């Protein structure tokens, strides 16, 4: 399997293909703004905050992949969970659509890229890293947070357990 096929597989599993875990499309399916804003306790993130964090990093990395030099670093990683510009009732559906579109952009970008680019160093990155490794880590990061979203849904009893056979 080429690195291109590998990354495309990981992106599909994160976005909309059932595998060992449910993809983000299923994890976010049918969530209301109220459910998206629910917190199990004061130290936890909401589903909307996690989706905002995922959107921030996926968009940031696709910009870098497209050749943009990234020099606008977030104040803290924690601030990427708070990137909601409008009230949740207005913003939730748009946020869910935006994260799906971001993952779709990734799928299209990888389909159109060369295997050589995936083996090349990331320009302007503070340490030596090649694209396929960074993108594999990005997909792992997505998978981690998808699991958190599903866990939150289980706590709020908005997840269909019969659907969850993994």
pLDDT value, residue 64:
94
163: pLDDT confidence band, cut at 50, 70 and 90?
low
CA angle, corner 16, sides to 3 and 130, nearest 5? 25
Contact 54, 145 (CB under 8 A): yes
21-30, 36-45, 96-105, 155-164: segment of lowest average pLDDT? 155-164
Partner residues linked to 61 by β-bridges = none
Give the whole-angstrom CA distance, residue 128 versus residue 63.
Answer: 18
Phi, psi of 121 (to 5 degrees): -70, 150
Contact 148, 27 (CB under 8 A): no
Query: Tokens representing 7?
Result: 């990354």
Contact 37, 48 (CB under 8 A): yes
Contact 52, 81 (CB under 8 A): yes
pTM (2 d.p.): 0.90
Give the whole-angstrom CA distance, residue 155 versus residue 80.
Answer: 23
> Cβ contacts of residue 72 below 8 Å, gap of 6+?
none
Query: Tokens representing 136?
Result: 């594999």
Could you identify the residue written with the tokens 């559906």?
93
pLDDT tens track for 11-60: 999 999 999 899 999 999 999 999 999 998 888 999 999 999 999 999 99
- Residue of 41, 50, 62, 33 whose CA lies nearest to 144: 50
pLDDT value, residue 86:
60
Sign of the torsion formed by the C-alpha atoms of 56, 93, 98 and 166 = positive
């Amino acid at each position: 399997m080429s690195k291109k096929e590998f990354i495309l597989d990981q992106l599909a599993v994160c976005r909309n293909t059932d595998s060992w875990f449910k993809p983000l499309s299923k994890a976010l399916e049918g969530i209301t703004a109220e459910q998206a804003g629910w917190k199990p306790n004061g130290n936890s993130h909401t589903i909307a905050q996690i989706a905002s964090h995922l959107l921030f990093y996926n968009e940031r990395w696709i910009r870098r992949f497209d050749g943009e030099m990234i020099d606008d670093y977030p104040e803290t990683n924690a601030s990427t969970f708070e990137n909601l510009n409008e009230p949740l009732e207005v913003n939730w559906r748009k946020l869910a659509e935006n994260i799906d579109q971001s993952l779709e952009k990734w799928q299209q970008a990888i389909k159109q890229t060369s295997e050589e680019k995936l083996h090349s160093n990331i320009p302007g990155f503070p340490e030596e890293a090649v694209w396929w490794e960074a993108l594999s880590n990005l997909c792992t990061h997505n998978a981690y947070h998808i699991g958190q979203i599903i866990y939150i849904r289980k706590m709020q009893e908005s997840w269909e357990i019969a659907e969850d056979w993994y």
